[in-house]
Amino acid sequence: MNITAIILAAAVVGGVGLVIAILLGIASEKFKVPVDEKEVAVREELPGNNCGGCGYAGCDSLAKAIAAGEAEVNACPVGGPDAAAKISAIMGVEAGEFVKKVAFVKCAGTCEKASNKYEYTGVQSCVEAMNVPGEGPKACSFGCMGMGSCVAVCPENAISIVSGIAYVDKEACIACGKCVDTCPKNLIELVPFEKKCYVQCNSSDKGKDVMSVCKAGCIGCKLCEKECRLDAIHVENNIAHIDYDKCVGCGLCAKKCPKGIIQTKNA
C-alpha cells in the first residue's frame, strides 16, 4: 500500500471539501434573503389555521402583508381581538375595532317546508348538482340543496346538514369564509356575531311564487320594514335586507314576520 498516495488523496479530498465550504459560505452570504423581524414576530401571533379567511393564501402571506403595511393588523378573523392587539403593538399602530363574524345560511327551506322538482340520485355535492337540469332538485332555485359542499370545506367541522339544509354552529365557526366561496347558490354570508337578527331567506321571487315552492320563504310583505323604528331593514328585490350598522337587535321585525324567517341570534 502506497502511504504517499493515500495521504495525497486525503489531502485532495480535504482541499476540495474546504474549497466547497468556502464557496458555499460566500454564496449563502451573497444570496441570502433578508429576514423581516416584524414579519417573523407577526407570524408568531397568528393562529396558523391557514384558512384564507383574511383574503390571503395563509398565515405566512398575511404576516408578510401586515409587515409591509398592505393588510390591517386586525385582518385575521380567527385570531380575533387578542391577536390584533399583539400585532398592533408589534407594528406600532392602533388595532382598530374588531368585528367578530360568523357564517349564516340564508335558507329556512327544510325538507318539511320546501319541495323538490325531482328525486336526485347523483353525486352528493351542491356544486355538482348545479350541473344537472334545473340547477339541482330543489324547487326553489335559491334554496339550499343540503348536499354538504360547505360541510366538506369547513376546517372546524362547524357546519352540518339538519333537515335538508346547512346549519352553522356559531360557537365553532371561525369565519374563514370557505363555505361562502364554495356555496354555488351564494346562500352563505358572514354576518356580525353580536347582532341578533338575520333574514333566513335568499329568494328574490315574488311572494306567490315563493309560497308555491317553500312554506318558509320571504314574501316581501314589508311588515318588517314598517315595524322597524331605526330604518334598519328594507325589502329590496322582494327580499328583506338588514343594515347591521343600524340594527340593534330589538327583534321587533322577527316578531312581525308572518313567515318566521327573520331569525334571532339564539334561534
C-alpha separations of 60 from 36, 42, 193 in Å: 12, 9, 26
pLDDT value of position 34: 66
Helix (H, G, I), strand (E, B) or coil at 264: strand
Contact 137, 119 (CB under 8 A): yes
Residue 263: strand pairing partners: 198
Enter the pTM of the model: 0.74
Contact 38, 71 (CB under 8 A): no
In 164-213, which ranges are E strands?
165-168, 188-192, 197-199
pLDDT value of position 164: 93
The 3-class secondary structure across 105-152, one letter per residue, is: ECCCCCCCCECECCCCCCCCCHHHHCCCHHHCCECCCCCCCCCCHHHH
pLDDT value of position 31: 65
pLDDT value of position 32: 62
pLDDT value of position 74: 87
pLDDT value of position 159: 97
Span 128-179, pLDDT tens digits = 999 888 888 999 999 999 999 999 999 889 999 999 999 999 999 988 889 9
pLDDT value of position 243: 94
pLDDT value of position 35: 63
Distance CA 75, CA 110 (A): 35
Ranges of the chain with pLDDT below 50:
267
Domains, the chain: 37-91 (1.10.15.40), 100-193 (3.30.70.20), 195-267 (3.30.70.20)
> What are the cell numbers at 164?
335538508
C-alpha separations of 259 from 172, 176, 204 in Å: 28, 31, 15
Residue of 181, 244, 183, 169 whose CA lies nearest to 55: 181
